[in-house]
Amino acid sequence: MTTMQKIEQVRDAKWFSNLTTFIILAYASVLGFKTIDAVETNYSIFLQFADYFVTVYFIFEIAIKMVAEKKFVNFFKSGWNVFDFVIVVITLLPLEQSGFAAIARMLRVFRVLRLFTARPELKKIIDMLIKAIPSIIDIVILMFIIFYIYAIIGNFYFHDLPSGLWNDFLVSMLTLFRVLTFEDWTDVMYEAMEVYPMAWIYFVSFVIIAAFVFFNLFVAVIIGEMQKLQEADMKEELHEDHLKLDILLQEIKSLREEVKDLKKSE
């Protein structure tokens, strides 16, 4: 086995992915401890060492991924690799001793995002959500239309309510968002019912359409993308099985020919 093959094995190994995940989670804990003044004062050397260790490990990990590619340019053809590279480079910028020290500390938080690329399962989920964006945008547009219509109606009927929740179009939109999140939405409804007893029709219909129907649409889109992802994985596995079967059949064929040749020679 060549050195390049060994590096590729390390890159694709499950233990390497698990190690990266563990280090990222440990670093996330370190960042959390840094927010506690007593801990940062008593363990400042340890926290600084942990920060340096994670920096060195990330450089080592990305170097492994770069070297494992047959061509260096191929590394940047993957969006996830570019994502990793950008995060590592940004956190290496010497900003601690400059006027941008606060920005440097904030950028270190982005290292935790490396967890997305460290776990193949998380990458699949993110890819699934990205593929679902076009459908989600259509649902959001439809949802905005419903919000727009209900906001205009609410402003027209409930403009004079003492709470001021329907003063103008924008405030009405915020009020409807509050209703959508079920944050004391019944108080908003009962206030309107004191003036318009049938106002419950307005609020109940909005909750049914916006909260229940659209929520289920979001769930349906995500489930649909998950099914597509599972089907793609199954097709890939079947393709690999077919390739293995073809190789096995070729080997059997070659063995038969060798047996025939041996019989002829006898």
Over the stretch 158-181, which tens digit does the pLDDT of each residue have? 988 888 889 888 899 999 999 988
Q: Over range 109-114, report the average pLDDT.
A: 69
Three-state helix/strand/coil letters over the chain = CCHHHHHHHHHHCHHHHHHHHHHHHHHHHHHHHHCCHHHHHHCHHHHHHHHHHHHHHHHHHHHHHHHHCCCHHHHHHCHHHHHHHHHHHHHHCCCCCCCCHHHHHHHHHHHHHHHHHHCHHHHHHHHHHHHCHHHHHHHHHHHHHHHHHHHHHHHHHHCCCCCCCCCCHHHHHHHHHHHHCCCCHHHHHHHHHHHCCCHHHHHHHHHHHHHHHHHHHHHHHHHHHHHHHHHHHHHHHHHHHHHHHHHHHHHHHHHHHHHHHHHHHC
User: Same fold for the domain at 3-118 and the one at 133-251?
Assistant: no
Residue 70 has pLDDT above 60, yes or no: yes
Give the domain ranges of the chain: 3-118, 133-251
Band of residue 189 on the pLDDT scale cut at 50, 70, 90: very high
Global confidence as pTM: 0.60
Residue 200 has pLDDT above 60, yes or no: yes
Residue showing tokens 């219909």: 205
Higher model confidence: residue 118 or residue 62?
62
Q: Tell me the C-alpha distance between 180 and 209, whole Å.
A: 10
For domain 3-118, give its CATH number from 3.30.365.10, 3.40.50.800, 1.20.120.350, 3.40.50.1100. Answer: 1.20.120.350
Higher model confidence: residue 144 or residue 94?
144
Q: Over range 81-93, report the average pLDDT.
A: 77
Q: Over range 126-134, report the average pLDDT.
A: 81
Q: The tokens of 93 are what? A: 């910028």
Band of residue 103 on the pLDDT scale cut at 50, 70, 90: low
Residue 96 has pLDDT above 60, yes or no: no
- Provide the CATH number for the domain formed by 133-251 in this structure: 1.10.287.70
Q: Over range 207-219, report the average pLDDT.
A: 85
In order of 8, 35, 119, 222, the CA distances from 132 in angstroms are 32, 36, 20, 7
Residue 194 has pLDDT above 80, yes or no: yes
Band of residue 94 on the pLDDT scale cut at 50, 70, 90: low
The pLDDT mean for the chain works out to 79
